[in-house]
Chain A
Amino acid sequence: MNQELITARGLTKSYGTKTAIDHIDLSVGHGRIIGLLGPNGSGKTTFIKLLCGLLHPTSGELKIDGHSPGVESKAIISYLPDRMYFADWMRTSDLAAFFADFYADFDRTKALEMFKSLGIGQNDRIKTMSKGTKEKAQLALIMSRKAQLYLLDEPIGGVDPAARDFILNTILTNYNENGTVLLSTHLISDIERVLDEVIFLQNGKVVRHDTVDNIREQEGKSVDQLFREIFTYGH
């Protein structure tokens, strides 16, 4: 096990003339829950996609547990994309079988237990589920892997407040103790208490990377308030 789980040096990703990630230097350790925060278009999803190897850096270096994004890193990353990628004819039981086939670290019993506590039946088809239920079902699958790195892209965006609490609880109680959870969101006040650290992204750059308690100690205000100050529109 490497000391740092993620290291990025001069990491850059451009789409044509638009630079989405701009020379990021960053390191992230094991066993942390980290919020990736920033307004729309700040590079959150691009950064997550670089980590899981769906995008390739334009320049710079990125290592996950010592490996460049690839087969080794994908085996230890559990990724929740910002949109559903399953065929909608699939049933819950199909999804569990699918994950069991793909990932050696998938705990099927755990997933089925989580479905049950969410009131999702094994024979329920994805197309009959509401948007929020789909998100919950997906998260249950993602968190049932014993991964080193959980990448959650907007896990609480589309669900009601009660489901949000359930999701945060699921993250808190189910992540592997040495594993790190990196989750992107702009709903900070809801999740601040569960985070160790936050990374603020703005125009593809890291403008702040610190622990929640340090920020509160130094600024005398919550991360949510600080976010609103840093990212005020019209400046």
Chain B
Amino acid sequence: MNWKLTEDRPIWIQLVEQLTMLIVSGIYESGSAVPAVRTLATEAGVNPNTMQRALAELENRKLVETRRTAGRIVTEDLSLILSIRKELAYQRTAEFFTSMHALGYTEEQTRELLAAWNKKEESV
């Protein structure tokens, strides 16, 4: 996992976003164990307390839960994972339309482009 942290925003928020991505993309599978705080902190090169805070936030959002015997695991609630994934997909789509708008494309034109879109065609 390649952790990318930018300068301008709180570190824990960036960790929450990246851990969420790991979960919704299935890299951390539903029901599987989340690595230990120290392991994750070392991997990301951040303070263990900061990583702890990020994981606590994920617990608040019910994406991970603490089992007394198994430690911390990724939620088994697949519908929750899917709904968060959908939310993220909406956000990205909205951003895409905004950036197309900045290029001077109307929503209509963008939709036409998408409908006709074929990955294999490299040229426009």
Residues of A within 8 A of B (CB): 31-33, 165, 168-169, 172-173, 193-196, 212-213, 216-217, 220-222, 224-225
Residue contact A216 to B45, C-beta cutoff 8 Å: no
Would you mind naming 14 contact pairs between A and B with Cβ atoms under 8 Å apart? A165-B45, A168-B45, A169-B42, A172-B38, A172-B45, A172-B48, A193-B44, A193-B45, A193-B50, A194-B45, A194-B46, A195-B47, A221-B7, A224-B7
Give the chain B neighbours of A168 by CB distance below 8 A.
45
Give the chain B neighbours of A195 by CB distance below 8 A.
47
Shortest Cβ distance from residue A64 to the other chain B in the assembled complex, whole angstroms: 21
Give the chain A neighbours of B5 by CB distance below 8 A.
193
Residue contact A213 to B12, C-beta cutoff 8 Å: yes
Residue contact B7 to A213, C-beta cutoff 8 Å: no
Q: Which listed residue (A194, A216, A220, A221) contacts B47, Cβ 8 A?
A: A194
Residue contact A196 to B49, C-beta cutoff 8 Å: yes
Q: Which residue of B lies closest to A189 (CB)?
A: B7
The yes or no answer to B8 lying at the interface (CB within 8 A) is: yes
Residue contact A222 to B8, C-beta cutoff 8 Å: yes
Residue contact B46 to A225, C-beta cutoff 8 Å: no
Q: Which residue of A lies closest to B38 (CB)?
A: A173
Residue contact B7 to A222, C-beta cutoff 8 Å: yes
Residue contact B8 to A220, C-beta cutoff 8 Å: yes
The yes or no answer to B10 lying at the interface (CB within 8 A) is: yes
The yes or no answer to B21 lying at the interface (CB within 8 A) is: no
The complex places the Cα of A216 from the Cα of B6 at a distance, in Å, of 11
The complex places the Cα of A113 from the Cα of B75 at a distance, in Å, of 38
Residue contact B10 to A193, C-beta cutoff 8 Å: no
**A32 touching B10 in the complex, CB below 8 Å, given contacts A169-B42, A172-B41, A173-B42:** no
Residue contact B11 to A216, C-beta cutoff 8 Å: yes
Shortest Cβ distance from residue B9 to the other chain A in the assembled complex, whole angstroms: 6
The complex places the Cα of A29 from the Cα of B103 at a distance, in Å, of 52
The complex places the Cα of A221 from the Cα of B8 at a distance, in Å, of 4
Give the chain A neighbours of B48 by CB distance below 8 A.
172
Residue contact B8 to A193, C-beta cutoff 8 Å: no
Give the chain B neighbours of A217 by CB distance below 8 A.
10
Shortest Cβ distance from residue A222 to the other chain B in the assembled complex, whole angstroms: 4
Residue contact A213 to B42, C-beta cutoff 8 Å: no
Q: Which residue of A lies closest to B7 (CB)?
A: A222
Q: Which residue of A lies closest to B3 (CB)?
A: A193
Shortest Cβ distance from residue B40 to the other chain A in the assembled complex, whole angstroms: 11
Give the chain B neighbours of A220 by CB distance below 8 A.
8-9
Q: Which 8 A-B pairs have the closest CB atoms?
A: A213-B10, A222-B7, A216-B10, A193-B46, A217-B10, A194-B47, A196-B49, A196-B47
Q: Which listed residue (A31, A221, A224, A225) contacts B49, Cβ 8 A?
A: A31
Contact string against A for B residues 24-46, beta-carbon threshold 8 Å, 1 for contact and 0 otherwise: 00000000000000100110111
The complex places the Cα of A77 from the Cα of B28 at a distance, in Å, of 40
Residue contact A216 to B8, C-beta cutoff 8 Å: yes
Residue contact B50 to A213, C-beta cutoff 8 Å: yes
Give the chain B neighbours of A193 by CB distance below 8 A.
5, 11, 44-47, 50
The complex places the Cα of A33 from the Cα of B46 at a distance, in Å, of 11
Give the chain B neighbours of A32 by CB distance below 8 A.
49
The complex places the Cα of A194 from the Cα of B11 at a distance, in Å, of 10
Give the chain B neighbours of A173 by CB distance below 8 A.
38, 42
Give the chain A neighbours of B7 by CB distance below 8 A.
221-222, 224-225
